[in-house]
Amino acid sequence: MSGESGSLRVLRRLLAAIPLAAGIVLVTFALLRLLPGDPVDIMMGQAGNVSEAEIETLRRQLGLDRPIWEQAVHFARGMVRGDLGRSIRTARPVAALIGEALPATLELAAAALLFAVAVAVPVGVLSAVRHRSALDHLAMGTAFVGISMPAFWLGLVLILIFGVALGWLPTSGRIDPSLSVPAVTGFMLVDTLLARDPAAFRSALEHLVLPAVTLGAELAAVLSRVVRSSMLDVLQADYVRVARAKGVNEWRVVSRHALRNALVPAVTVLGLQVGILLGGNMIVETVFSWPGLGRLVVGAIFARDYPVVQGAVLLYALTFLAANLLVDVLYTVINPRMAMG
C-alpha cells in the first residue's frame, strides 16, 4: 500500500463496499425464500374463516405468485432507485418502518457505548497501573463475569433489583406514559429537550439506564481487558521509560504518553462491537420493551416479511462496513504513523 494516500484508500474501500453490500442483500433475498413458510399464509394465521381464493388474491397483489427471479429483479430495481419496497405484513414502506425503529436502537446503542467506554477506560488503565494488585484482580474478575453473563439474564436481574425491589428505575418503555412528548426526531432524549420538558427528559434518561447498562456490560468487560493489556505493553515501552526518566510525573506519563497509544487496539474492538451493538440488541430490546430495530427484524423473520428483513440486512451490512472503515480512519487520527501504511 506504499505510496497510496489515505483518502484514496478510503475511496477504494468505499467502492469495494458497494458490490459487497449488494451481494449480501442478494444472498439474504435467496435465503429468505428458501425458508419454509409463506408470508400470506402466516399473516392469515392458524385460524379459520380464510378461503384459498382470498390467499391467492393477496399473494397476487403482493407479487408473491411471480417467479423468484422476477421478484429478485423487481427488488434489485427498487434498491437501485432507493426504494426498499413495502412490508408484506403492515403494508407500510420498509424505509418508514426502519426509520421509525432506528432512532430507538441508535439511542440505546450510543448510551451503551458511552457506558462501556466510561467504565472500561478508567478500569483498564487503573488495572494496568496497579498491575497484580487487589484492585486489578477484582476488576478483571468482574470483567470475566461480565463477558460470560447472558444479556437476557443480566437484564432480568437488573429489573428485579433496581425496578421491582428498590423501585429506583423504570423497567420498560422509553418514557413515562403520562409525560409523552411529540415525536420529532425519534430520539427520546432529543425530543424531550426540543419540547423543553425537563421532567420528560429526566424520565427518558431514567428509562435509558437499565437497558444501556445491560447492553453495554459485555462491551465494557471486553474493552477493559483490552485496555488493560495494551496499557501494560505500552507502559514497558522505551518512550514511556524515557518520559519517566525525564522526571515527568506518573499521571502525565499515563494520560499523555501511554494512553493514546494504548487505545489503538481498543478502537479496533470498539469498531467491531458497534455493529454488534446495533444488530445484536434484539434481546435487550425484548427484555426492556424497547421498540427498536432488532425486534422489528426478528418479528419480520418470523412473519417471513421478506422486504423488511432485506432492508434491515442492507442497513446492517452498511453499518458494519462503515464501522470498519471508520476504525481505519480513526487509527490514523490516534496514531499518525499508521497513515504511512
Partner 1 sequence: MACRVIRSLRGSWIRMALLALAVALALVVWQGPGGSPVQAQAGQVLRIVLDGAKNREAELQAVAGYLRQIGVDAQVRIWEYQTLIAEAQRGTRDAYATDWGSSTFSPFDLAIPKLRTGDRGNFSFYSNPDVDRLFELASTTVDEAVALDAYHRAQRILYEDAPWIFGYYLDTIEAASERVRNWRPSVDNRTNLHDVVLEGGDTLVVGMRADRIQSFDPADHRDRDTETVLRNIFDGLVTRTPDGQVVPEIAESWEQPDPTTYIFHLRRGIRFHDGEPLTAEDVVFTFERILSPTGLDGRQSPRLGLLGPLQRVEALDDYTVKMTLSAPSPVFLQLLVHTQIVPKDYLTRVGLAGFVEHPVGAGPFKFVQGRLDGDIVLERFDDYYGGSPDLPPVGPAPLRRVVFRMMPEPGARIAALLAGEVHIIHEVPPDAVAQLERARGVQVQVAPGTRLYAIEINNRRLTDPRVRQALNYAVDWETILRELYRGHAHRVATAFLPSGFGYDETLQPYPYDPDRARELLREAGYVVR
Q: Which residues pair with 86 in a beta bridge?
A: 93
Binding string, residues 22-61; x marks residues near partner 1 by CB under 8 A: xxx-xx-xxx-xxxxxx--xxxxxxxxxxxx-xx-xx--x
Whichever of 224 and 310 has its CB closer to partner 1, that residue is 310
Residue (33 or 137) nearer to partner 1, CB: 33
Record the cell numbers describing residue 216, joined without a space. Answer: 453495554
C-alpha span between 75 and 71 (Å, rounded): 6
Q: Which is nearer to partner 1, 233 or 299 (CB)?
A: 299
Whole-angstrom distance, CA of residue 330 vs CA of residue 169: 36
Per CB under 8 A, the list member of 142, 229, 268, 286 interacting with partner 1 is 286
Comparing C-alpha atoms, which of 222, 227, 232, 239 is closest to residue 276?
222
Could you tell me if 210 and 158 are in contact, meaning their C-beta atoms sit under 8 angstroms apart? yes
Binding to partner 1 in span 177-216, by CB under 8 A: 177-178, 180, 182-183
Count of residues near partner 1 by CB under 8 A: 74
The set of cell numbers assigned to 168 is 429506583
The correct pick among 15, 73, 138, 145 for binding partner 1 (CB under 8 A) is: 15
Among the listed residues 8, 18, 114, 242, the single contact to partner 1 using CB under 8 A: 18
Query: Burial of 67 by CB count in 10 Å (0-12 exposed, 13-18 middle, 19+ buried)?
Result: exposed
Judged by beta carbon, residue 156 or residue 237, the one nearer partner 1 is 156
Taking the complex as a whole, the smallest distance from the CB of residue 82 to partner 1 amounts, in Å, to: 19
Q: Which of 156, 193, 264, 338 binds partner 1 (CB under 8 A)?
A: 156
Contact positions with partner 1 (CB under 8 A) in 223-262? none
The rounded distance, in Å, linking the Cα atoms of 330 and 319 is 16
Residue 179 has a CB neighbour count (10 Å cut-off) of 15
Site string for partner 1, 298-317 (x = CB under 8 A): xx--x-x-------------
- Among positions 67-126, residues that touch partner 1 (CB under 8 A) are 68-69, 72, 89-92, 100-101, 104
Please tell me the distance from the alpha carbon of residue 319 to that of residue 15, in angstroms, as a whole number.
15
Q: Which residues pair with 93 in a beta bridge?
A: 86
Output 52 or 238, the one with its CB closest to partner 1: 52
| Closer residue to partner 1, CB minimum distance, 7 or 46 | 46
Residue with smaller CB distance to partner 1, 174 or 228: 174
Instruction: Residue 302: count other Cβ atoms within 10 Å of its Cβ.
Output: 10
Q: Dihedral sign, CA of 71, 73, 78, 84?
A: positive
Q: Which of residues 163-182 bind partner 1 (CB under 8 A)?
A: 163-164, 167, 170-175, 177-178, 180, 182
In degrees and rounded to multiples of 5, residue 86 shows phi and psi of: -115, 150
Task: Give me the least distance between CB of 156 and partner 1, in Å please.
Answer: 5
